[in-house]
Amino acid sequence: MATAIPKITLSSSRDIPFNRLVLSQSNVRRVKSGLSIEELARDIERRGLLQSLNVRPVLDGEGAETGTYEVPAGGRRFRALELLVKQKKLAKTAPVPCVVREVGSAILAEDDSLAENVQRVALHPLDQFRAFRDMLEKGMSEEEIAAAFFVAPAVVKQRLRLMTVSDKLLDIYEKDGMRLEQLMAFSISDDHARQEQVWDIVSQSHNREPYVIRRMLTEKTVRASDARARFVGLEAYIVAGGHVMRDLFEADDGGWLQDPAILDRLVMEKLQEAAEQVRAEGWKWVETALSFPWGHTRHFAEIDGREVPLTDEETARLEVLRAEQETIEAEYAQADEYPDEVDARLGEIEQAIVALEERPLTFDSADMARAGAFVSLDSDGTLQVERGFVLPEDMPAESEETDDADGYDHAGYDGRDHDSTGHGYQEGEGDNIAPDVEPEEEDGIKPLPDRLLTELTAWRTLALRDAFASNPHIALTELLHTLVRDFYWQTSGADCLEAYVREISLPVHSPDMPGSLPAHALRQRNDGWKHDLPEDEDALWRWIDGLDDASRMALLAHCLSFGVNALYERMPAYGAVSQRSVTERLKRADRLASALGLDLVEAGWQPSVENYLGRVTKARILQAVREARGDEAADRIAHLKKPDMAREAERLLDGSGWLPEALRTVGLADQAQVETVTTGGDMEAIAAE
């Protein structure tokens, strides 16, 4: 016969006069957090008590009930009711709904208090949005909703903005298929079809950061010179149904592609085809993306490949090219410059030599079975394939015993591995980086947001490293300066030599930095040194000892460059590094930039909506245009809304050489300002562009 399941009995509930209730000392909540007592009291005044109090009878010395009840669970509600009584808004004897725990219960009062606070689940943001939407549709205004829930109207507006997001994407978010930051990024567009198309693209990509989503959604047209357009080709784009806008009166560098969705689809299809070909080589995994974050291979190990040797035909071809190059250079040794046709021929020879000298690598099949590759789009519109990276969990156990045996980390320099976060970096992992909240629109110039300032100085740090590595004399001077400061102004330790370079990461950066000129130069320089290193680690010291002085200095400058730190950071009040130290760091970085003659314009930084103009106030946008093009230009866009103003400012600042103050170099900045004012007056020509 089946055993009957015992039935539980719930505690009784009844109304108890407020003056018969007292706050229990068993209430576990001691620290105030969240909604204040005053706000809760106002909410109860408006809508009444939504949740009963949990109470227990108070017993006298003989164990008999006194008619008074203590409140171990619901203390904040009790204090809110107490405040309403003091304000004469609630009678002392007003009945309060209570759930009464029986005398002698085995459940402790502290147990009830803890359970009530711990077992509640915070409302999902999507549920909050839907509730706000329903109240809005039933007649409440955004301000009334904000007042009812004691939040800022901006919070309500942000949640209601999710009404612009496709239902398909809302369902994906509800099932934890994307993060809230990603969902919010989609809300900048009202085009549901485009939103879903962008998600289909980024969901196949390694890089799904919100800034990538925003960039793709805000694109209206794409220049034909864009890396994606060069990768796909205009002909393929047009065949797929894309349209190109051309300017028949001005040079337009190939025009503008008006259908970025078609272009993105073609790019991803071509990248996927390339990834399949790479996967067929025998790699364990292949990651594909339009672009990977700076330093995405940082926490990967690398397997060694072997260069494919030159064939006899290639060797003979290389000798012929070098002989021709030497003949031309000798013939024009005394000339001030090469004739155009000779200069063009030398360029062809150099490219042919580089193509022969940069040999492809072959890898052992056993190594390939545990390693992978990254397939992406390079900044010049060519396919970029990075092979031979191993996840930490796929590394053989014995590698820990032999790794860095002589103190030299051969896997430490990979160009893109340095100065960045690791694989799978998510926004928000960068320590001490404040959220990028745009300042309120007010008259005057507000300070730049901390995150934007960090991104700008990350760009500057990268360019400064490139300039630093190209100038061994300055690099050695800076090293000696650092060593002398440490020796004479600090207490020396017992170590033989404490000089070292600490690799400085760049976890926060703008999306255009990985494809920049300094990044490209650093990768090429790093690959060159890596190619020249001896295969045998035991021969490393002898190899370095045998270098000529120029090569030793160049290698020193290259290694030191990864320790250059010109980053602005907002430090916590009691952090290991003080804000004063950061200020001193920036002063020393300014000195170094001046010594190197660092010019961020020559390094390729250009103000855009994405990396600056869309991130600052209208006052700063107008200030930039005024400095670069004069008052007349600034006045022409002063009436525009901020998004339109930022886009128009990007056009006006193109080619102006203007830089934010954080990117300017003392001396060069003064000269650039004079040139800008001198050339900025002809606004009719600029407006006609």
pLDDT at 433: 43
Q: Could you list the mean pLDDT of each consecutive 10-residue stretch along the chain, which spans 689 residues? A: 73 88 77 68 84 88 87 86 91 91 80 70 70 81 76 74 83 85 80 86 77 73 84 91 65 73 90 93 90 78 84 89 89 82 88 82 89 88 89 69 38 36 36 46 72 88 87 77 53 50 78 84 84 76 81 85 86 68 86 90 90 90 93 88 88 90 79 48 42
Mind listing the pLDDT tens digit for each residue in 494-529?
344 556 677 788 877 887 888 888 888 888 888 888
Q: Tell me the C-alpha distance between 264 and 227, whole Å.
A: 11
CA angle 512, 469, 528 (to 5 degrees): 85
Ordered DSSP codes for 412-454: S--STTSSS--TT--TT-STT----PPPP--SSPPPPPHHHHH
Q: What is the pLDDT of residue 248?
A: 44
**CA separation for the pair 581, 351 (Å, rounded):** 46
Strands 21-23 and 65-73: what pairing?
parallel
C-alpha–C-alpha distance, residues 442 and 440, integer Å: 6
Residue 19 identity (one-letter amino acid): N
pLDDT digits (tens, 9 = 90+) for 290-330: 888 777 787 788 888 888 888 888 889 989 998 998 898 88
pLDDT of 644 reads 85
pTM beyond 0.85, yes or no: no
Alpha helices in 88-187 (DSSP H): 109-118, 125-137, 142-148, 153-160, 167-174, 180-186
- Asked if 41 and 47 count as a contact pair (C-beta separation under 8 A), the reply is no
404: region left, alpha or beta (phi > 0 left; psi from -120 to 50 alpha):
left
Query: Which pLDDT value is given to residue 61?
Result: 81
